[in-house]
Amino acid sequence: MKKHLAILITILAVLTVSFLFSQETQREAAKLPEGYGDAKWGTSMDEVKSAIIGKITYTDDERIIITKDEHIEYRYGFFYKDPQKIAAEAPNNEPNNNPNNEETPDKILYYVSVRFPYLPVDEVRTKLEAEYGAVTIDNVSKNKGAIGWLGEKTLALIYVNEYENKQYVAKVTYVSTDIIKQVNDYENSVFNKTEIETIRRLAP
């Protein structure tokens, strides 16, 4: 059940990012790093383990590593192609071309989500604007939504929530703009149209 929930969360994130790309304003690309900290996009899970921030609190060895450093939690997300899903979706139910279950060249880093106790939006936005420049995505409405910086290889998003009629943020997510497209294509290939539409309706 936990694995299915993780997959659903990943799909919702992909759909949200795809929507926000469509909201991008015509501005100069932000200057963002190609990864987060010492962990670069496309790096294998084993390599990322030597570049993480904080102490590992959970990993499923396929899609996610969760670490914690005092009050900050880091979620390192990986693009993983499930061999069983790929085999099930093969044309004419062709047998698995990888009968020995050899590891495919995936489990590569494509996002990092940084979570922390609620902070005022202006405080977080000002800090990120100092690093990345002017905001390139802003779809906040009625104190909810997302604000983002789109660079050549990285998209950074802060998610805005409302508390007592004020805007707060408790999460910043960094996403590879190249690998997220591969994830989107993969999810579309293993879920049918009805499932995709259902997932879209679940998206906030």
Task: Count CB neighbours of 147 within 10 A.
Answer: 24
Lowest mean pLDDT of 14-18, 39-43, 99-103, 139-143, name the range: 99-103
Asked if 64 and 6 count as a contact pair (C-beta separation under 8 A), the reply is: yes
Domain spans of the chain, in order of start: 2-202
Q: Please tell me the distance from the alpha carbon of residue 16 to that of residue 203, in angstroms, as a whole number.
A: 7
In 3D space, the residue among 34, 62, 19, 63 whose CA is nearest the CA of residue 177 turns out to be 34
Q: What pLDDT digit, counting tens, does each position of 154-185 carry?
A: 989 998 999 888 999 999 999 998 888 887 77
User: Based on the number of CB atoms within 10 Å of its own CB, is 32 exposed (0-12), middle (13-18) or buried (19 or more)?
Assistant: buried
Its pTM stands at 0.75
